Structure 1
Amino acid sequence: MENGTLLVDIALSIRMIIHMCESAKSQQGNCLALAAQLRLLKQLFDELRQSKFPLSDATIEAFGSLQSALQGAKEVLGQCSKGSKIYSFLKSPQCVDQFQELSAEIETILSASRLALPRVSKQVQCMAENCVLELRKASYSKDVLEEQIRQEIEALLCDHREGRKASREKLDKLAGCLGITTKEQISEELNALEKDRGEAGRNKDKLEEEFIDQVISLFMQLAEDNFDDGNVKGETQSQEVQIPADFRCPLSLELMYDPVIVASGQTYERAYIQHWLDQGNTRCPKTGKPLAHINLIPNYTVKALIASWCQTNDVPLPKVDAVKSTNWLPPTFSEAEEAREDTSVIPSGLDTDCEERSSDHGSSTGIVSGRRKDKDDVYEKRMPSGPVMRVRSSSTYSSELSGEVEALGLSPSRNSPDHFPIFTRQMQSSKQKERKSYKSVYAGGDKVADAGIERLVQNLASTDLEVQRSAASELRVMTKNSIEDRNRIAHAGGITPLIALLSSGDAQTQENAVTALLNLSLNEHNKAEIAEAGAIDPLIDVLKSGTSDARENAAATLCSISVEDYKEKIGARGAIPPLVDLLRTGTPRGKKDAALALHNLSLFRENKVRIVAAGGVKPLINLICEPRMGMVDRAVDVLVTLSSIPEGRMAIGEEGGIPPLVEVVEAGSPLAKERAAAALLQLCTNNPKYRRTTLQEGALPPLYILSQIGTSRAKEKAAGILRLFREQRQASMSRRNRHM
């Protein structure tokens, strides 16, 4: 190393150490004393750098030793300025000794090198001599207040080891002395303790690691006693909860209770849009476009998402009795535009022409289960100048399964939570033309439509491939557009010939058939008919060897028809291995459909074993590790189901699933955090090895935070894991005490 470089490095080290001394959190008196001595040393090296005199080999060797000593000083000061406050107080006696040894080492090096120094100014020589004298006289002592705090912590640790719980008064006093009075400070201290323990583990210092374990256990008692759920809850409630724009009615700007879709595809609160229509308005308030009809179709997807959001954020469900005043309604479109200035547009995926998917959003996970019963409502509306129109709406309006047009999620607006993703896919122009063609042909009334459907169903059995393909394509479009047409096609016997076309050698025909069946399955009473007509085996064949789109829609169809009676049958017929393969190798859309299907099937116990045996755990873990795909919540949902069986827990642990789950607890959506905590609780409850792994991954701080400010279920799961950690530490300390 060149002389100049060595001197620069020493000068920088001295400057850094002085800064660390001035920002120390403990040993402040000793740190300031060391800083004063080092300032004298800094002046010496500044002069040496400016003089540019050559250094002798002996001086270079001495200064190299000085640089090593200064590096040791950084490590000592690091304990005073960083890391855990509790741990630094407990290490206080060792720190005092280290300060003394450090000064003595620097003084010895300077004394040896001073004789070999080149000619420098007499002033600097005097400074060097003064520095040596100051270092020689240096005396470091224990800070009285810090020593008192250390003794108090030692006494509490002793009581804790012997199973005696500290009094609330002592813990309050200690928290105040340490300056740990907020959730953020608790989290910082927990993180610091975990890092200190990790450092001891890397140094293979078993005794120190066990000692820090005891400190963490004591600190958790302090945290639990001083920051109970009540305090945190009050603090959380004081913060304003922002309502996602997509959950507010564009007319009232209030959270919707009974959202409905109008002909333009926009969603409103029923009471307000009904009042708007009753005033004689025939245009959509949001878009300003004329309404083709004034039927109101319930939007069960948005309603379920609002209910889930309310539960997650502890917000009461909205209730709309009636519109109390007519003055609030903007009489013109321009005024309606002003009234909704701060709202965002519900995506076009809500258009009633979109492919609809059934979903049970009543579950906490939001995953399709296919158990919702039809609650068909008939609405009778009269246009200002036209006949009475009738429309039947079903609760099976849409879901989370993806298809030609993906179902509604919610766009992350400036007010919306990240865990409500919006899935939208633009329709191809050819598809839009098909839809317009269908409307023009079958808009002549029920009899015309029935006749057209019967003809299409007959054409499915044609020996002409082109006729088959065309019929399957038209039925695919029709089932995408209308609940009524799905019923008509099923009633006309269309299900059986569509199933037959799943074995077609023509890829396009097969794809159209499987997509039409998917759409038909969204009507609740069609599910059993499709399954009973023998669709399961052909769907599994398509899932194994079809085109990419066909495989995805086959997975979605299996998910849709896997109601309680058919979960076992679908799993037993061999659907799970190809679903796992789609999960592993499919497109993002295919992986989503596969994850939904696997979750639905995993609700039957034997299918859980089959998913694990097919190697489904690893690709689920991989999805958690790739948050950009938007599949974290889905994957965690399946893993928490699999964690309920021994095979699943073993696979999650052995495939490296614990670190990603800990990451979700720390940074996932509120619902994902809850589910990840549930999976970790299963793992930690049944295997001490996984308990240790979870601790080593730094789960303690995020679990503590979750136990304070998560959803009610998340708090319960996190508290359960923390209790297991505490019991394990207490058992470990008891064993050590017996051997002492």
Structure 2
Amino acid sequence: MIHTKTGSGRRILTFPAVQPCESISIVTLLDSLIQLAGDILAFKSKHFSTNKQSFRETLRRIQNLVLVFEEIRIRVGTPRRYFHHDSAAVLSLKEIHVIFQKLKFLVEDCTRDGARLCMMMNSDQVSDHLRVLTRSISTSLSAFPVASVDLPNEVNELVDLVVRQTRKYGVEPETNDIRVMSSVNRILALFENRVSPDSDEINMILDYVGIRKWRDCVKEINFLGEEIAAERLDEKKKKKKKKKNSNVRVELLSSLMGFICYCRCVILGRIERDDDHQHHNVDNSDKDQDLIRGLKVEDLLCPISLEIMMDPVVIETGHTYDRSSITKWIGSGNVTCPKTGKILASTDLVDNVSVRRVIYKHCRTNDIVLTSIVGQRRKTQDDVVPESLAAKGAAKLIAKFLTSELLNGGEEMIYRAVREIRVQTKTSSFNRSCLVKAGAVSPLLRLLSSGDSKIQENAMAGILNLSKHVTGKSKIVGEGLKIIVEILNEGAKTETRLYAASALFYLSSVEDYSKLIGENQDSIPGLMKIVKGEDYGGSAKRNALLAVMGLLMQSDNHWRVLAAGAVPILLDLLRSEDTSGELTADCLATLAKLADYPDGTIGVIRRGGLKLAVKILSASDVSPAVKQHLFVV
């Protein structure tokens, strides 16, 4: 059974129908039946991803039943004895009401955007549900006392026709469904052996299930990510035998995700230049829109990685980070909060369920790929590995294809490739490893010199993500440290320069690389330029300071930070009325780190730092984290 919830909280392929109350009037019951039938018939224009012919036949029968219900509705203007609450007629209509509710849920599922491929691969289960519901209609209609209701002969004949049709109609998996499922399974087998499938066969599958655009693939990927997460959460509640079944489902879902990722990157690779994340999903509910209305995307970014958080967690200070980023920070020997600098008494991470929900709604509304909602498992994002051989093989083929595009493609092909690499490298360490092994680092570094600001931005974002990979770090430092520092100082866009700063933070986690970064005469001044610059907001300044803090873990860099004018820059920020509480804490954390050395302490005192510290301490709204750093300074 598929477990993802819809916007209303219902799980796919579940049918939580409600029995009409015993005292319901016949008029109300008929009105509700007619409304339900109308809701079901509204799906006639939708694309059914599976059992297409069977659903068309079922909808025709529903249309006939609407005529019957409307005729009965006309004839019950006044109460009649055969319509008391426990009469055969009312009981029959109540049963049909329950069946219609379930049928509505089923057609919703089989036309849902994002679930198309998954529903196709569950064609047998859909057929079973549709067969049971169809025969239930026949059984309920058979119990309806047609003769006693005094309906026109043509209506009686119509009821008899529907009974006979639904009774003999056997819903079975359709030939086209079987053919498409066979093609999908054949392609998954090719992926397992790292063999590129025939693009015409893939296009046949995509056309059949109704996946025609890059955006459609994004919806499918996010849906499958939810499915895997739900299965993993349910594993804990299941017995051993059922766990085995769950693992089989997860393997299939993972394979399908690999298939769709391949389709997105290789088959349906067109992405609109100026509208990458602005595609609006008109099917979202008002509740979803209320949730994200007025939302600032920067509030969803991890302060460390500058990317949308995939698995948001809260640390002791109450600040939220992406699990993989804060885990790396703590794993590197840092026992402080990156934003406040406060020493952590506990490094426990607590899921931020509210923020995750907002992120999911935002990404679904804007068609943003966020495969890592799968990260609800108790793993860091870097631990996420495809659950099947097919998904692994697809990832390797994708990496090979995208790297080839970087090396041999024209401008549009290159743009598409760097945009996809940016998405792929956010997903997991496995994808990063595939791209590093495919040789993507060198062409990405060359693209940092591109005159196209979008290509440069996406290439830098890809390098940032690859800097989280051990081998990626080595290649980036060996070939591209100089160009990254140049981007830090002269990147075409603010975002590009900030990605460069974050890449330096990740690279600085290796002591030797931290030393090399510090030895580049433009790296630390470039970071301090962001901290000082009037064109940068508080969030950008905090991220640049985070990179500086990372470099300060290498003792040889402290004098370089001092030489770059860190003390006066930070003190000027602390004196500014525009400096926020979080930025104040960041400034004080950096000053506290510099004050670990005599020359840093002297520099702070000589420039009035002690007097300023007393002034800040006397403020009524000073936070505990700020007080802690003040005492150190």
Q: What's the TM-score once normalised by structure 2's chain length?
A: 0.43
More contact order relative to length (CA 8 Å, sep ≥ 6): 2
Q: What's the TM-score once normalised by structure 1's chain length?
A: 0.38
